[in-house]
A = this chain, B = another copy of it.
Amino acid sequence: MDLKSRIDTAVREAIRLGQDGAAPAKLAAALEYATTPGGARIRPTILVSVAMACGDDAPGVTDAAAAALELMHCASLVHDDLPCFDDADTRRGKPSVHRAFSEPLAVLAGDSLIMLAFEMLARSAVHDPMRSAQLVLTLARQSGMPGGICAGQGWESEEKIDMRAYHRSKTGALFVAATQMGAAAAGQDPEPWAELGDRIGEAFQVADDLRDAVFDEATLGKPVGQDDRHGRPNAVAELGIEGATQRYHDILSGAIASIPSCPGEAMLAQMVNMQARKLTPATAASRA
C-alpha cells in the first residue's frame, strides 16, 4: 500500500469508529465531511515517513498515530473556520463545516475529532502501552496549552504578540507532533526529532505566506488575504517574495541537516525535499 492509501485507510477507520451504532446522523456526517477528501495529508505523511525511517516495527501504532494527527489537524481547521475566528465560507474548495452543516455541528465535529484522535492512540496500547502513552502526551502537548495549536490561536487575542511563540505554536506545533510521533510510534526517543518538525513548520509557514501572496482564491480553495485582514505577521510582507523564497530554501536545508541518525535517513531527506517542492508556489520557485 502506498503512503497516501495507508493514511487514508487509517483516517477512514477512525471516522467509522465515531459513526458506529446509534450516532446522531448529522454529526456523524460532519465528521466524514471534515476529513474527506483529505488535503495533502502532509502531517501524517511526515509522521509515517519518520516512523519508516526508524524501522516502523509496530505498523498498527504508526497507523493510529497518523490517523490521530490528521484528525487533530482537521479539528483545528473546523474550529479555525468558525465565525468567531476566520469566518471562512470555504475550505479545500467546498463549503466550510459550519456553512455546510451549522455552527453547533461545527463546534461538536471539532470536539469529536479531538476525542477520536485520542481514542485511536489509546487503542494502539494493545500493541505497546508505553508508546501509546508517549503518543498521547506528544499530541496533547502540541495541540493544547501552553505551547500547542490552541496557544497559537490564543495569541491572536493578545494585544502584544510574542511572535516566536505565536508561529511556533500556531503552525509549528503539529509538525513537531508529526516528527516526534513518528519516532515514538517506532519506539524511538521523540526528543531529538523536535528540531526537524520545528524547521518543517517554519518552512510551511513561509510557503503559506508565499501561496497567499501569489495565488488567487479559486486556486487555493479558501479565502486569501486572511493574514492581512487580521493583521497577522507575514514573511512576504517582511522580506518580499524573493526574500521569502530564499528563506524557505534556507530553512529546508537546515531541516534536512537536522535529521537524527537513523536507518532511513537518506530516504527521509528525499521525502522532505519532495514535500517541499509540492508546497512552493511555481511562480515563487521560478523566481528563486
Residues of A within 8 A of B (CB): 18-28, 31, 79, 82, 84-85, 101-105, 107-108, 110-112, 114-116, 118-119, 121-123, 125, 129-130, 132-134, 136-137, 139-141, 143-148, 150-151, 153-158, 162, 165
Contact = CB atoms under 8 A, between A and B. Distances in A.
Q: Is the interface of A mostly helix, strand, loop or mixed?
A: helix
28 contacts: A20-B146, A22-B146, A23-B147, A23-B154, A24-B165, A27-B157, A79-B111, A82-B107, A85-B107, A101-B157, A104-B153, A104-B156, A104-B157, A105-B154, A108-B154, A111-B111, A111-B143, A112-B151, A114-B114, A116-B144, A119-B140, A119-B144, A121-B136, A122-B137, A125-B133, A125-B134, A129-B132, A129-B133
A165 B22 contact: yes
A103 B130 CA distance: 37
Contact of A150 (B108, B147, B157, B162): B108
B156 A136 contact: no
A227 to B, nearest CB: 16
